[in-house]
Amino acid sequence: MKRRAVATGWFPSEGGTADPFRLRLYCLPHAGAGASAYRAWGGRLGDGIEVVPVQLPGREARFAEEPATTADEIADGMCAALAERGDQHWALFGHSMGALIAYEVAHRMSAANRPPAHLVVSGMTAPPLAAHRSGPVAGARGDAELIDRIRSLGGTPEDVLRSAEMMELLLPLFRADYQVCDGYRFRPRPPLSVPVTALGGAADPGVPVTGLTAWRDLTTAGYAMRVFPGGHFYLNDRIDDVLPVVRAACMGEAPHLGSGPARGSRPGR
């Protein structure tokens, strides 16, 4: 039986009116994850930034809903929720699948004359390149092949992957999320007038530095890149290094991302 979707619950912490002196940073999770992926971020970006994890349909508190299978469906739903909030000072962060969704949200909100102050993308090749994927989409893959794909990214504990009970619960969500990624098709549009910061792991086999560099062609408002040691989930292991970079980007300090292998910074095109 198909689960019924509802239009609420995108933001588990349903705060009131935004503080005009603080920026709301909406954080979109990777495939298979929910808003709790950003639990450790709360209160760690300083007084000027409020971290708002995004809860996508089909997980955690929204488990009763059918998970979406297209980026457009998720982006449209989130934009409707953002429009209700009416934030004037806000930004986006997305990791992996979340970066694709954040990019689509940034475009939609910009078209509505309510652009984010900054777009921070992590662990995802720029959409024009990410859209050129080969092989069967997730919906056509068997369970064993899908589990191998999850395992290759390194973000799911092995005991979870080996648990038939856990996989029975999680595989439909992973399958839907991978359909979002595998089925994504880039639509050429004018570049964003939003600064973009691209982050990644140096040992992430699916996101080469060239894939991060390609984000610079999607904005006219400034671009910076930072590569950290680690694989696809580098941000979990390097959180103390990642959060200051995210804060600097959101506070308009992208040219001063701190020491380390920052690359590709430029004031604009």
Cα separation, 200 vs 30, whole angstroms: 13
Options 13, 96, 193, 265, the catalytic residue: 96
Answer whether 179's CB lies under 8 Å from 67's CB.
no
Cα separation, 206 vs 245, whole angstroms: 22
Cα separation, 124 vs 98, whole angstroms: 9
Tell me the one-letter amino acid at 121.
Answer: V
**First-residue to last-residue Cα distance in the chain:** 50
96 has catalytic annotation: yes
CA distances from residue 42 to 9, 33, 49 in whole angstroms, order as listed: 18, 17, 10
Cα separation, 104 vs 110, whole angstroms: 10
Give the catalytic positions in this structure: 96
